[in-house]
A and B are shown apart, each in its own frame.
Chain A
Amino acid sequence: MLNYFLKGEAGTRLRFMGMLLSAMLVLLSVFTLTQKGLNFGLDFTGGYLTEFTTSQSVELKELQSFIAENHNGEFELTAQGNSHFQLREAPSASTTANSLDWQSAVTQNDDINAQVLSSAYIGSQVGDELFDQGCLAMFAAMIAVMIYLAVRFEWRLALGSVVALVHDLILVLGLFSLLQIEFNLTVLASLLAIIGYSLNDSIIVGDRVRELLRVQSNNVLSPATIINNAIKSTLTRTLITSGTTLATVASVWLLAGAPLQGFAIALFTGIVVGTFSSICIAATLPELLGLSAKNYEVKVDAHTQTLLNMP
């Protein structure tokens, strides 16, 4: 079906339409990011986080008001399940005493009979540092990858891959901002993994474009057709790999539990938009930038040319 659409001009039109869609999605993501921002997790904000289960299922509202009676600071209670809750407090010094008060209240109350599963404290300074380091890691990874691509590919193809990569990251961040999913350290790790995987797809398409530009005596075929052919011949591979990776990520999402939920959501989105962008951006942008077979012609100096011209 898709193969049919990719033939000739129809394929080109589809690619450009996809690119337009991508541009719109990026704008939307940037808009939500600036309006709503990200819901940063404990790793980055610092503070106290206590995770506990109750012996029977308790209404979130009831528990909220019960804890409020035993807590004189600010806190944020979220339900992970019917009897599984998370309580988050700001990293101010006074909460240490508070934390003990409400904890003993919920563990000693017979109706709630809570059991603390885990607790964490992160100083706000550490959170800031982690955030800085995360951003640093992200930029370092992007720059290293860009250098590698620039050496390995022609600049138009390299730029196409990098733009596709940035597109993927912005869309994932946009989704996290739109749905206000917690953005923590493991999500950051998954963003870095997306950098790797998104490029993977783009590189394979780019590799094929380069190969076709070199191989065929391609003054006959237009760059658009060559790119369509390259996509067509790599499409099965792209879909299979994305499919199996998505299947494994989905099994993490379904089975690995709450701690990896954000991680799996980020990777899932990243792989979907990454596959999309490898076709609609990584391969299409170089065409706009004037990619042609000439870029890959072996440069021959005058002397060799005369030698070649000799009978």
Chain B
Amino acid sequence: MLSFKKDKKPSTAKFKLSYIAMLIVLVLLAISALPNLYPNKSWLHISAAAHSETQSLPSTKTLVTFLNNQGLEVEQGLDKQSTINVLLNEPTKSAQAQAAIKAQYPNTQVKVVEHATSPTWLQNFGLSPIKLGLDLNGGVLFVLDVDLDKAVDEQLVSAYQQAKSIIIKQKAHGVKAQQTQHGFEINALPNATDKLTPVIEELQSRFANLAVVTSNNGSVKAAKFSYSEQGRSSFDKEVMGQTLTTLRSRIEELGITEAVTQQQGKHRIRIELPGVQDPNEAKRIIGATASLGFYQLKEIGGQTFNMQSGGTIKLDPVPIFTGDHINNANIGRDDWGKPLVQLSLDSQGGDAMSAFSKANIGKPMATVYSEYSQNAKGEVVKKSEVINVANIAQHLSSRFSITNMKSQQAAADLALLLRAGSLTAPVTIVHEQTIGPSLGQENISNGLAALMLGMGITLAFMALWYRRLGLIANVALILNLTSLVGLMSLLPGVVLTLPGIAGLVLTIGMAVDTNVIIFERIKEERRQGRAPYQAIQEGYKQAANTIFDANITTMITALILYGIGYGPVKGFAITLALGLLTSVFTGVYVSKILSQTLYLKMGKKAGVKAHA
């Protein structure tokens, strides 16, 4: 009797420790799942537009009355210091309200912002509900194709132009640049070979990714410039990174807060704009390629540009500074009421401008507006136009304005694009999708209904078929769903889509498999005459191998699906993969402990009964 107790103790201690660890994991995941009971609400944030001259924010009361009159009933209107926050009765109409307010009060900025409604202690932990994909939330999707080949060509042409101007600047007589099929080359006559090296060095300091191959062609020394494979890939990376940054800040300028902007594949960018209903404005701004550069006029060796007013002009191919150095741009009107764009430069641009204008008072400076557009053949071409040439009247600093804008809209767009940065490579929209908010809502409720039904059938079946063990399976199943939802809320980058919900439903159906395999084993062991507790031990042990085999193949396909699929399909793969993890965890480990505890207690009770 004593020896029995001695044997028992360590195993109970071990069992208790794993019990506690598992309990902690389950509780943590359950807490992470909690915020999903409090879905986010979309509020409208109305503030005075940053670049507007008049601080014309309507009073909260006026705004609420206006919205109510439009049939957009307001549930709550809050007056925060500089913004008005409004919650509509039907938050799906936020986009409609946003458009209405913008039309009525043009000098305001309206943003749709998601507010968490979960208790503050949950928010303090940094916990939030699962992010919903576009098909559940409603919104606009764009996939952009970035024309990297075009960007490389542009870069090579620009390098060639700059090479020519470097040669002139360095007075390297006998050195000549000329374009070739895959780039350009610089040739040096025998008496000028020593002048070639500084030109190459200067050029390489400006274009780090360019590869140089020097060769002697008879007595002529030639340096060929082109993109090596490595240089090209780092250039591509740079361009994609820059494009992403620019697009993100443009979307921010548009007042869209929850956007997802990410690279998809090698040369695509995927932009998801939840809550947006009219893709046209977003499309015009996102796809715009306009950029601005300021150039010095050049009589000799310059590059020829077209004038907007007609005719051509020769300019130094190296700009004094470009739109990249613009800190802020606002629209305004000149003395004659024509639209203009006021610029303020960053310190680098300011210095360049200051130095240049000081040395060139009385001389002209040209503003070049460039844009990519599709020609009749559908090819992307760059169009550069000189929009104005003005004499520098005085020593300019970091603030000045560009006049001669075509329209108010053109000025507003240019100001926005200058604030957000320009794109180095042309982009085209290859995939565009708009999902109405009501459809998203319908998808959610349909998906949830399917989940409930599937879950209900499974729970009922397990309880009827396996009775007591079935209850354990059902507890494991519910824990599985909670853990899965908790895990999905916890991991960043996991997005729930409609196929994702289908994956969730499937996981429920499949998760019982683990328990079925184990329970059938246990039954078999019982038939072979083992005691209940031993049969359970043996059943779990024997089934482990099979379960591992069966789940790993599904895991392989889920991972491949995740690696290759996009958007909704990726959502399905994530749910599938995480579901496998949680179902093995709850189905094998948690339910093992549950059944052991259950039978241990029952065994004790039975023992007591037997004694009595």
Indicate, yes or no, whether A interacts with B. Answer: yes
Contacts of B558 in A (CB 8 A): 196
Q: Are B524 and A245 in contact (CB under 8 A)?
A: no
A126 in contact with B430 given A137-B565, A192-B560, A247-B461 (CB within 8 Å): yes
In the complex, A116 Cα to B278 Cα: how many Å? 12
Task: Say yes or no: B434 contacts A245, CB within 8 Å.
Answer: no
| Best-surrounded residue of A126, A207, A241, A254 (most CB of chain B within 10 A) | A241
Report whether A192 and B520 are in contact in the complex, using a CB–CB cutoff of 8 Å. Answer: no
Give residues of chain B (318-340) contacting chain A, Cβ–Cβ below 8 Å: none
- Interface contact A141-B557, CB-CB below 8 Å: yes
Contacts of B378 in A (CB 8 A): 93
B509 x A248 contact (CB < 8 A): yes
Q: Across the interface, do B502 and A121 meet the contact criterion of CB distance under 8 Å?
A: no
Residues of A in contact with B (beta carbons under 8 Å apart): 51, 93, 115-123, 125-126, 130, 133-134, 136-137, 140-141, 144-145, 148-149, 152, 185-186, 188-189, 192-193, 195-197, 199-200, 203-204, 207, 233-234, 236-237, 240-241, 243-249, 251-252, 254-257, 259-260, 263-264, 267
| B228: chain A residues within 8 A (beta carbon) | none
- Closest chain B residue to A125, Cβ basis: B430
Closest chain B CB from A97 CB (angstroms): 14
Q: How far is the CA of A260 from the CA of B447 in the complex (A)?
A: 9
A193 x B506 contact (CB < 8 A): yes
Residues in A with CB closer than 8 Å to B192 are: none
With the chains together, A123 CA to B431 CA distance in Å? 6
Which of B167-175, B567-575, B603-611 forms part of the interface with chain A? B567-575
Contact, CB under 8 Å: B524 / A264 = no
Is the pair A186, B564 in contact by a Cβ cutoff of 8 Å? no
Does A126 lie within 8 Å of B434, measured CB to CB? no
Q: Which residues of B contact A254 (CB under 8 A)?
A: 450, 453
A to B contact number (C-beta, < 8 Å): 204
| New A-B pairs, 6, CB < 8 Å, besides A256-B447, A257-B443 | A126-B143, A133-B564, A145-B556, A185-B568, A199-B550, A254-B450
Chain B residues whose C-beta falls within 8 Å of the C-beta of A203 in the assembled complex = 546, 549-550, 553
Chain B positions near chain A (C-beta within 8 angstroms) = 135, 143, 145, 378, 429-436, 438-439, 442-443, 446-447, 449-451, 453-455, 457-458, 461-462, 465, 498-499, 501-502, 505-506, 508-510, 512-513, 516-517, 520, 524, 545-546, 549-558, 560-561, 563-566, 568-569, 572-573, 576
The residues of A that contact B429 with a CB separation of less than 8 Å are 121
- Chain B's interface: helix, strand, loop or mixed, by majority? helix
CB of B142 to closest CB in A, whole Å: 10
Q: Which of A145, A241, A251, A259 contacts B510 (CB 8 A)?
A: A241
Whether the Cβ atoms of A200 and B450 lie closer than 8 Å is no
**Cα distance A189–B574 when bound, in Å?**
12
Interchain CB contact under 8 A, A257 and B442: yes
Contact at B505–A197, with CB atoms within 8 Å?
Answer: no
Contact of B446 among A116, A234, A236, A256 (CB under 8 A): A256
Are A119 and B434 in contact (CB-based, < 8 A)?
A: yes
Known contacts A140-B564, A197-B510; A259 and B557 CB within 8 A of each other: no
Q: Is B513 touching A186 in the complex (CB atoms < 8 A)?
A: no
Residues of B within 8 A of A134 (CB): 564
Distance in angstroms from B528 CB to nearest chain A CB is 12
Q: Is the CB–CB distance between B569 and A251 below 8 Å?
A: no
Q: Does B545 lie within 8 Å of A207, measured CB to CB?
A: yes
Q: Are A121 and B431 in contact (CB under 8 A)?
A: yes
**Contacting A200 at CB < 8 Å: which of B145, B430, B438, B553?**
B553
Q: Are A118 and B436 in contact (CB under 8 A)?
A: yes
Task: Say yes or no: A189 contacts B572, CB within 8 Å.
Answer: yes
B465 partner residues in chain A, CB cutoff 8 A: 240
Determine whether the beta carbon of A120 is less than 8 Å from that of B501. Answer: no
Smallest CB separation, B370 vs chain A (Å): 24
CB pair B556–A141 under 8 Å, yes or no, is: yes
User: CB within 8 A of A241: which of B436, B442, B513?
Assistant: B513
Distance from A67 Cβ to chain B, minimum over Cβ atoms (Å): 19
Top 8 closest pairs, chain A to chain B, by CB: A196-B554, A248-B454, A248-B509, A123-B430, A245-B509, A251-B453, A120-B433, A255-B450
- Contact present for A255 and B446 (CB under 8 Å): yes
Q: Are A240 and B458 in contact (CB under 8 A)?
A: no
Q: List 16 A-B contacts (CB under 8 A).
A: A117-B436, A118-B434, A119-B433, A133-B565, A148-B552, A152-B549, A186-B502, A189-B561, A189-B565, A200-B550, A200-B554, A244-B513, A248-B454, A256-B501, A260-B499, A264-B502
- B residues near A247, Cβ cutoff 8 Å: 454, 457-458, 461, 509
Choice from A93, A126, A144, A152 contacting B560 with Cβ under 8 Å: A144
Partner of B524, one of A149, A200, A233, A248: A233
In the bound complex, residues from chain B placing their C-beta under 8 Å from that of A144 are 556-557, 560
Taking CB atoms, residues of chain B closer than 8 Å to A118 are 433-436, 439
**Identity of the chain A residue whose Cβ is nearest the Cβ of B547 in the assembled complex:** A204
Q: How far is the CB of B342 from chain A (nearest CB, A)?
A: 36
CB <8 Å contact, A263 and B499: yes
Give the one of B499, B512, B557 with max A CB within 10 A.
B557
Query: Is B557 touching A145 in the complex (CB atoms < 8 A)?
Result: yes
CB distance from A129 to the nearest CB of B (A): 8
Question: Are A207 and B549 in contact, with the CB atoms below 8 A?
Answer: yes
Task: Decide if B430 touches A122 in the complex (CB within 8 Å).
Answer: yes
* Residue of B451, B457, B509, B520 with most partner-chain A CB within 10 A: B509
